[in-house]
């Protein structure tokens, strides 16, 4: 039931604009979305949505604190903390506390990350490293858990992933395939992702389940899209048959990068993340 690292990579991906893989080598400044990303702090309350099959998860509680600041000029900083507890019956439970800090430059070419995870009473495990892009090749240099250098082809970082999804949505695309690197697990995990984008929802249409974005004037003029991102282990061989995603995320994505109505699907159980609070941060416009 090691869900903490999976949730971390999912949320980092939300942090969390080229529409196809060939655009990775182009200028990110030219591809920037017309609506800048909104610096903000959001709180999401976690709960068990449902269990499937023989899953023994009886209940899930927790909270995510997500802080996103910066701009295309100075880069984007994401501070994330998730505390959660899964109850698995017979008075057994798994407690996790995950904290991460990352910085990504506005061009999507440089990425720094540090992730710390504690499961139950075990010692904290840490992942610390940097990733830099040269052309279509990303070079990752890990400090922890062990010093190591390796390369990845055609991968994008979390904030760039959100930008690409928004640009694809604006262009009327319904599918987007990307290779994602966010430093999760032991720092060596790479995901192939498939994003399915639904029809645009105008800001004048209130969400079915109200949350702090419903009455906030910042969102009444913004379009949002229902999005599902499925994450597949890139290390799995293509000839292994039809792959099942490691996990999938469903959410509504505003064109300023804010996400609401989270649903985290781990195949045997699903966790809902309802936004409980959002605070808009000041930002300095690019010169």
Reported as a single tens digit per residue, the pLDDT across 135-163 is 999 999 999 999 999 999 999 999 999 99
Phi-psi region of 228 (alpha: psi -120 to 50; beta: other; left: phi over 0): beta
Q: Is the residue at 285 inside a domain?
A: no
Identify the segments of the chain with pLDDT beneath 70: 1-33, 55, 237-241
Residue 72's Cβ-side half-sphere holds a number of Cα atoms within 13 Å equal to 20
Does residue 99 contact residue 78 with C-beta atoms inside 8 Å? no
Q: Is the residue at 227 inside a domain?
A: yes
Radius of gyration of the chain (CA): 18
Domain total of the chain: 1
Does residue 229 contact residue 252 with C-beta atoms inside 8 Å? no
Find the helix or strand (DSSP H, E) in which 89 lies. strand 75-89
Q: Is the residue at 245 inside a domain?
A: yes
Q: Cα 136 vs. chain centroid, distance in angstroms? A: 21
CA distance 61 to 78: 23
pLDDT score, position 88:
82
Q: Which domain holds residue 29?
A: 4-280
Q: What is the pLDDT of residues 107-116, one digit of tens each?
A: 999 999 999 9
Q: Is the residue at 286 inside a domain?
A: no
pLDDT score, position 237:
66
At residue 231, φ and ψ (nearest 5 deg) are -105, 125
Does residue 276 contact residue 260 with C-beta atoms inside 8 Å? no
CA distance 80 to 8: 8
Does residue 251 contact residue 259 with C-beta atoms inside 8 Å? yes
CA distance 93 to 58: 10
Q: Is the residue at 114 inside a domain?
A: yes
Does residue 102 contact residue 13 with C-beta atoms inside 8 Å? no
pLDDT score, position 113:
96
User: Other C-beta atoms within 10 Å of 116: how many?
Assistant: 17
Among 93, 95, 105, CA closest to 130: 105
Does residue 203 contact residue 216 with C-beta atoms inside 8 Å? no
pLDDT score, position 240:
59
Q: Is 172 exposed, middle or buried, given 0-12, 13-18 or 19+ CB atoms closer than 10 A?
A: exposed
pLDDT score, position 209:
87
Q: Is the residue at 224 inside a domain?
A: yes
Q: Per the confidence metrics, is the pTM higher than 0.75?
A: yes
């Amino acid at each position: 039931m090691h869900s903490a690292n999976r949730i971390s990579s999912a949320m980092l991906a939300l942090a969390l604009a080229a529409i196809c893989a060939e655009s990775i080598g182009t200028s990110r400044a030219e591809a920037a979305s017309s609506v800048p990303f909104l610096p903000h702090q959001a709180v999401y309350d976690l709960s068990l949505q449902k269990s499937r099959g023989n899953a023994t998860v009886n209940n899930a509680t927790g909270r995510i604190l997500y802080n996103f600041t910066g701009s295309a000029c100075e880069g984007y900083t994401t501070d994330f903390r998730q505390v959660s507890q899964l109850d698995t019956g017979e008075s057994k439970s798994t407690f996790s506390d995950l904290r991460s800090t990352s910085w990504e430059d506005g061009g999507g070419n440089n990425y720094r990350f540090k992730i710390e995870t504690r499961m139950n009473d075990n010692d904290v495990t840490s992942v610390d490293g940097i990733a830099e892009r040269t052309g279509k090749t990303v070079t990752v240099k890990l400090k922890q858990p062990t010093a190591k250098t390796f390369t990845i082809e055609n991968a994008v970082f979390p904030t760039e992933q959100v930008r690409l999804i928004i640009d694809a949505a604006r262009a009327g695309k319904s599918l987007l395939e990307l290779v994602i690197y966010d430093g999760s697990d032991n720092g060596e995990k790479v995901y192939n992702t498939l994003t399915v984008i639904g029809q645009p929802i105008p800001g004048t249409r209130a969400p079915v389940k109200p949350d702090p974005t419903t009455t906030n004037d910042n969102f009444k003029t913004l379009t949002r899209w229902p999005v599902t991102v499925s994450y597949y282990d890139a290390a799995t061989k293509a000839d292994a048959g039809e792959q099942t995603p490691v996990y999938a995320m469903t959410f509504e994505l505003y064109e300023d990068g804010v996400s609401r109505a989270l649903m985290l699907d781990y195949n045997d159980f699903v966790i809902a993340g309802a936004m409980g609070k959002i605070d808009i941060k000041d930002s300095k416009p690019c010169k």
